[in-house]
Structure 1
Amino acid sequence: MKTFFRVLVALLPLVSTTRALNSTYTNPVLPGWHSDPSCTFVPELDNTFFCVTSTFLAFPGIPVYASKDLLNWRLASSIITRSEQIPLLNTDYSRQSDGVFAATIRYHDGILYVITALVNGGDFTAVKIPFFTTTDPFKSEAWSDVKYIENPSGDIDPDTFWDDDGKVYMATAGVHVVSIDLETGAATEAVRVWNGTGGPFPEGPHVYKRDGYYYLLIGEGGTELNHSVTIARSRDIYGPYESYAANPILTNRGTDQYMQTVGHCDLFQDANGNWWGMALATRSGPDWTIYPMGRESVLFPATWNKGEWPILQPVRGKMEGWQLPPPTRDVRGVGPFVDESNSYEFEPGSTIPEQLVYWRTPVPSSYIVSPPGHPGTLQLSPLKSNLTGPASFRPSDDITFISARQTSTRFNFSIDISFSPTKAGEEAGISIFLTQFQHIDLSIGVFGDAPTPHPPVTANIPKSWMNGTITLQVSTANNVTYEFSAASSRDVGSAKILGTASARIVSGGTGPFTGTLVGAYATTNGGNGTTKAYISRWKYTPVAQQIDFDEYVPARNYSG
């Protein structure tokens, strides 16, 4: 049998403020897949801001990012790190957009609370509302086991709000409000308090209390080009709510701006009392066809004077805002800053870095650091299911795939791989992955002649490369094309470009709420092979961020 490279594409049919401003920065501040942000400021934890974002089927679930200056964000911890916290990820969630939806993070009486929603198969009558707590957000293991809140509305996007009298309320999409008991999980009957301004999908609610008013902030219009943020207020938490005459207070719909789909935001204050907001946005322009990093998190300043409605500054790639806190990376956490380059050697005694993610809960035995005889590598044991899986694929079938978020428009990603397949179907390589139906792979393997919907490009591996490791690499020179290449690890000059693919393949479609992951995988493609792949010298290097149609800034340039 001959051993080949192949580049394989899997694809389904694609369907102004009133105060002086005195600092500048660029968006997104949480680049890459970071959808549905919620943030809070905690003076008691060394004046630290915390943000969480959606993870859907990714594991670990719900990253918690920490920053002291609003621009340098570090992975402080992950909330869902134990399979028993959300066991359904590997049993029930068959749709690629199922799983852990938008979360809200809040701090109250020394405890951080994160509440979220679990969606299974689009059945919104069975949405579960789990919540987690911690007093130490800088350790993943410090997050509690899951507790559940009753969900009378049956809807998503829960928000928690503590009133002055100590009562706790939950708002959900729809828009509904209930009183809840965090100890027992009980909830009162849902009351629909507002339906937005008439746009579809009123969701992502957050409740704030100021100057005797309950303010209800929501996203509406859907999460595509009509996405917007609207607001209403009432003297009673159950309404009636008065809609602001100048709604929407934040949107890029109907514009030719590069940043689009702006919405689903949260508001918070800094130590000086200045207001800020974090929202999701897509770097796509109004054409909205190529946006591989999906929904990212953008920062904007806000003005909220006493007794008045908040004024939110429109989202752009270049922003001006209040005086930012002093720039610093003196932030605790289990992972790197989101804009850092990363290099992993998988040394003996080390563990898999916490910022690496899997698609659903992993099979631990499929990922072994420095196994006997292969120090300094990550052993990937193949499973029968490949990244796509056959028509009979079920979540419990599992895949061997480990990855990180693509966080920069221009980047280089490479691994060295030692892999000597002998049986038909054995395959290992790298992938640009949006969902199991939309991914682009560069792999080494023994391939049969079975037809595929999108036939792979194959090339013989030179014999001189066969007795050593091979470097597989993907890079981008722009925002529209991925270039795949391979080389003998002993001779970088031997690199061969094996193919290119459009970033449209991993934009939207079956992954409408997420963004691309870059990583490594192994599979037998349904066969009986057992050959393991050994990964070393994992390296991801951000190069540049696109912040407007024809404007790039160097990566890691977020200090203003």
Structure 2
Amino acid sequence: MSKVENPALRGFNPDPSIVRVGDDYYIATSTFEWFPGVQISHSKDLANWRVVARPLERYSQLDMRGNPNSGGIWAPCLTYADGLFHLIYTNSRRWAGSFKDVHNYLVTAPSITGPWSEPIYLNSSGFDPSLFHDDDGRKWLVNMVWDHRPGNNPFGGILLQEYSPKEKKLVGPVENIFRGTALGLVEGPHIYKRDGYYYLLTAEGGTFITHAATVARSRSIHGPYEVMPNNPLISSASHPELRLQSAGHGSFVENKDGSWVFAHLCRRPLKNGRSTLGRETALQGITWVEGWPRLTSGGQVPLDVYEGPNLARHEWPKTPERDDFDTPTLGIEWQSPRVRPADVSSLAARPGYLRLIGRESITSNFEQSLVARRQQAKHVQATTCMQFAPQHFQQMAGIVAFYSTDSFYYLYVSRADHAEKALSVMKCERGNLTFPVEKEYVLDGVENIFLRLEIKDERISFFYSRDGVTYHTVGWEHDASILSDEHAIPCGFTGNFVGMACQDLAGTRLHADFDWFDYREIG
């Protein structure tokens, strides 16, 4: 048996959809407002994973400009049939309040790395769509339905409708096949077929501490569906002592040896209960008992270690801690909020540097110049070397710890009345901006400006250097836990990123050049 330390996918990898094609495993996870859309990770042994694709890389596939925080890509579903990968996804353009503007699409590709097709529009009745390929050749879409009417349960159940590959659209009647259980908030449906039964796996209980996964089954895909005895399949609710919290939303896959594995989301909260790493992906073994899937552990809580099939260990080359920006394209770990990184940056303008071209404010939901990567451990250090010559106060650039446009820290250089280059910290908490948080540091005459941030659990600190050797503290420590789902308004679904940003609020497109960016996990 091979052992997998959970979470298998660390740092902002929620809503996992797992599929096996031969000896290869793939997991698609939600990326929300971060572009390119959908993160697909690849493994051959279930223990070692690498990001291999982000399929939604064209605006014709995904346009998120103007989307709210935690909008965009929700709960993709990745399947393989008929020689093609099928990727179903939601683009959520509004989600807070009574209404949800959620549009569901399908793209396909012959290979996991593409080329991925132009999208086929499916419906907008709700989110978390999933495609099931039945053994008779028919294909079925399921998604939760959102009921905006006052007095009704907004999580109105799971809809089923047939999909026609020939006509490239949904056809036939729409049926509500499952209204959920007393856990409430039914979403995240996937259908599986085994021994003549259709199994409906759903998420319930909301995506925070009461989250859970529910199983029901029927002899007909149309129902009625019988809920599993002693449901739910998994939950961390009422177990605050567990390292993995919020266990729920996930998917099944059968291993080559006939065993099954369950990929599900989880959190690793800080001591104060907030989760700067966002929702991650863990693996659990599944054993079929009297026709029902049960955790191999025999309980209903997530384990820190998954004991999987005896697969040959297959490690991937590690991503270097330092990116010197010497390659023609950005590494796959880098993303930007709502827009393509290539639209706001250049590796060719000055070889060996990442040039960020100043755009809109750091609070913009449209086009801002920010390139960042996930925080994947509770203790991290990020450092960069920047050259920037602001001409006036509307131009700024620096290093960020960025959860959303409403929650971030920004160590930035700008022009001040008393200095050509003034370094200070900007803080945004629940949309409330404070800047400068402390005093400004004059860096006149300094060409290479070294900026650093360190996050240790709930605390974040900032530093600068004139020579890259001796670093000086900028102000005092701050609360890093504001960069979390639990602290967002009204809530959030992503995780913290660290990276680089540049703004030119005058619209003259002044740039900042970054020589390198160093990300490391520290003890």
TM-score by length of 2: 0.88
Alignment of structure 1 residues 328-407 onto 2, 5 Å: 328-329=314-315, 340-347=319-326, 350-362=328-340, 364-371=342-349, 374-383=350-359, 385-389=360-364, 395-396=365-366, 398-407=367-376
Match of 1:195 in 2: 179
**Relative contact order (C-alpha < 8 Å, sep 6+): which is higher?**
1
How far has the Cα of 1:473 moved from its partner?
0.9
1:480 equivalenced with 2:458 (yes/no): yes
Q: 1:24 to 1:527 in 2, by over 3 A?
A: same
1:136 aligns with 2:111: yes
Q: Is the 8 A contact 1:289 1:507 kept in 2?
A: no
- For residues 350 and 399 of structure 1, the distance between their equivalents in structure 2, rounded to whole angstroms, comes to 22
Cα distance change, pair 307–345 in 1 and its aligned pair in 2 (3 A): same
Q: Does 1:206 align with 2:190?
A: yes
Q: CA deviation at 1:436?
A: 0.3
Correspondence for 2:85: 112
Task: Report the CA distance shift for 1:39/1:309 in structure 2 as closer, same or farther (over 3 A).
Answer: closer
2:418 counterpart of 1:446: no
State the partner residue of 2:148.
Answer: none
**Residues 350 and 518 (structure 1), Cα distance of their counterparts in 2 relative to 1, 3 Å cut:** same
Within 2, Cα distance between the matches of 1:428 and 1:159?
Answer: 41
- Matched to 1:136, the amino acid is S
Structure 2 residue identity aligned to 1:170: L
Contact 1:434 1:516 survives alignment (8 Å) = yes
The alpha carbon displacement at 1:187 in A equals 2.9
Match of 2:55 in 1: 79
Match of 2:479 in 1: 502
The equivalent position to 1:216 in structure 2, one of 191, 200, 203, is 200
Instruction: Give the deviation of 1:323 after TM superposition.
Output: 3.6
Aligned partner of 2:151 in structure 1 is none
- Against the structure 1 CA distance between its residues 220 and 423, is the aligned structure 2 distance closer, same or farther, given a 3 Å change threshold? same
Q: Distance in 2 between matches of 1:387 and 1:161?
A: 40
Are residues 120 and 365 of structure 1, via their aligned partners in 2, closer, same or farther at CA, if it must alter by over 3 Å? closer
Deviation at 1:320, TM superposition (A): 4.2
Equivalent in the alignment of 1:10: none
Q: 1:180 maps to what in 2?
A: 163
Residue 322 (structure 1) aligned with residue 308 (structure 2): yes
Deviation string, structure 1 residues 491-548 (Cα, Å, up to 9, x no partner)? 4124334442212210121452111111100113x3356432100121111235xxxx
CA distance in 2, matches of 1:277, 1:355: 25
Contact 1:405 1:516 survives alignment (8 Å):
yes
Give the counterpart letter for 1:52 in structure 2.
Answer: A
Aligned-partner residue type, residue 105 of structure 1: L
Q: Is the 8 A contact 2:44 2:314 kept in 1?
A: yes
Alignment identity in percent? 26
Q: Distance in 2 between matches of 1:309 and 1:118?
A: 31
Q: Structure 1 227/440 Cα, relative in aligned 2: closer, same or farther at 3 Å?
A: same
Q: Give me the whole-angstrom Cα distance separating, in 2, the residues matched to 1:72 and 1:500.
A: 35
- Distance in 1, matches of 2:122 and 2:363, equals 35
Q: What CA distance in whole angstroms lies between the structure 1 residues aligned with 2:233 and 2:42?
A: 27
The match for 2:226 is 242
Question: 1:250 touches 1:312 (CA, 8 Å); kept in 2?
Answer: no
Partner of 1:97: 70
Shift of residue 366, structure 1, vs aligned partner: 2.8
The Cα of 1:233 is off from its aligned counterpart by 0.6
- CA RMSD after TM alignment: 2.4
Alignment match, 1:514? 494
TM-score normalised to the size of structure 1?
0.82
> 2:203–2:211: 8 Å Cα contact kept in structure 1?
yes
Mark the runs of 5 or more structure 1 residues left unpaired by the alignment: 1-21, 331-335, 390-394, 545-560
CA distance in 1, matches of 2:509, 2:339: 21
Counterpart-to-counterpart distance in 2, 1:189 and 1:127: 20
Structure 1 position 458, deviation (Å): 4.4
Cα deviation, 1:215-266, whole Å, max 9, x if unaligned, reads 1111101111111011111101111111112101100001122321111011
* Cα separation, partners in 2 of 1:320 and 1:540, compared to 1, 3 Å: same
CA distance in 2, matches of 1:77, 1:541: 23
Contact (CA 8 Å) 2:253, 2:262: kept in 1 or not? yes
The code of the aligned residue for 1:29 comes to: A
CA separation in 2, counterparts of 1:228 and 1:491? 48
Aligned to 2:445: 466
Residues 240 and 317 (structure 1 numbering): CA distance in 2 closer, same or farther, change over 3 Å? Answer: closer
* Secondary structure class of the residue paired with 1:504: helix
For 1:191, what is the secondary structure of its paired residue?
strand
2:261 maps to 1:276: yes
Letter in 2 for 1:117: T
User: Match of 1:81, SS?
Assistant: coil
Counterpart in 2 of 1:259? 244
Instruction: Output the CA distance in 2 between the equivalents of 1:144 and 1:448.
Output: 52
Q: Unpaired runs of 5+ in structure 2? A: 145-156, 419-425
Q: Distance in 2 between matches of 1:527 and 1:195?
A: 52
Q: Alpha-carbon deviation of 1:362?
A: 3.3
State the one-letter code of the partner of 2:165.
L
Whole-Å separation in 1 of the counterparts to 2:334 and 2:374: 8
Contact kept? 1:402, 1:519, Cα under 8 Å: yes
Q: How many residues align?
A: 491
Cα offset, 1:460, TM superposition = 4.6
**Residues 94 and 100, structure 2, Cα contact 8 Å, conserved in 1:** no
* Cα separation, 1, equivalents of 2:178 and 2:130: 15
